Amino acid sequence: MKLKLINKALLLSAAALILNYSSASAQMTTVGMDHVGFNVPDLDQAVQFFTDVMGFHKIYEEGKLPLDANGKKAFNIRPNGEITHIAMMSTGFGSNIELFEFNSPERNMQRPMTDDIGWYHIAFYTADMSKSVAWLKSKGVEFIGAPIEHKQGPNAGLTGVYFKTPWGLMIELVSYPKGMAYEKAHPKYKLWSPRNYDPNKLKYIP
C-alpha cells in the first residue's frame, strides 16, 4: 500500500513538473530590444542628423513600400498615404532605430504635446556629458535647459539633458558612470544600460 502511495506521489510530482515546464516554455521569451521605429518629415534630413551629429551609421535604405487597402487599414494608415522611404540606423551598443518617411497629404505634421498620448522621446547614454553637450552645441543643436544631476530618489547619480532635432523630435542624453541609487539595493532585475559595455574592447561587461 505504501509503495502504491509513493508511486502515485511520484507520478503526480512528475506531472506537475511537466505542466510547469510546458507553461514556462510556452511563454514568450524577449531577448532584447531590436529597434525603435518612428516617422520623420524628411528622411534625408533625419539620416544626415543622426549620421553627422549623433554618430550613427545608415545600414540600409528601402524605397516605396507597396500596401493595398487592407494593408493600410491593418496598419492604421490613411487610404491616400504611402511609405516612400525607410532607413535603418545603428550606433554603438543598444537598439537600432528605423526611420519612416510618408507621402500623405492629410497627415498631421505637428508633433504631439508632451502631455498627449502618443508623445515619446528617445535617450542615448554618453560616458562624458560635458564633452557631448559641447559637441552638440557646436552643431547648433537646440537644448531644453541645462543638464540636471539627480541627487535623490532611485535614479540618483544620473545626469540628463534634453535637446531637439531639426524636425522637433525630443532626445535625452544621460550619463551615470557610477551607477544609480536603486542598484545599491541589489535588486533582482536591473535596467539594461550601454554603460556596461566597454567601447574600447567592444565587449559586454556583466
What's the whole-model pTM score?
A: 0.79
- 43-46, Cβ contacts within 8 angstroms, sequence gap of 24 or more: 43/84, 43/85, 43/86, 43/87, 43/99, 43/100, 43/101, 45/166, 45/167, 46/87, 46/99, 46/101, 46/165, 46/167
d(CA 59, CA 148): 33
User: Which domains are seen in the chain, by residue range?
Assistant: 32-107 (3.10.180.10), 120-194 (3.10.180.10)
Secondary structure percentages of the chain, helix, strand, coil, to 5: 30, 30, 45
> pLDDT by residue (tens digit) across 25-60?
567 777 888 999 999 999 999 999 999 999 999 999
> How far apart, in whole angstroms, are the C-alpha atoms of residue 44 and residue 27?
40
**Mean pLDDT value across residues 163-179:** 95
Residue range 79-130, pLDDT digits in tens: 999 999 999 999 888 889 999 999 998 888 888 888 888 888 999 999 999 9
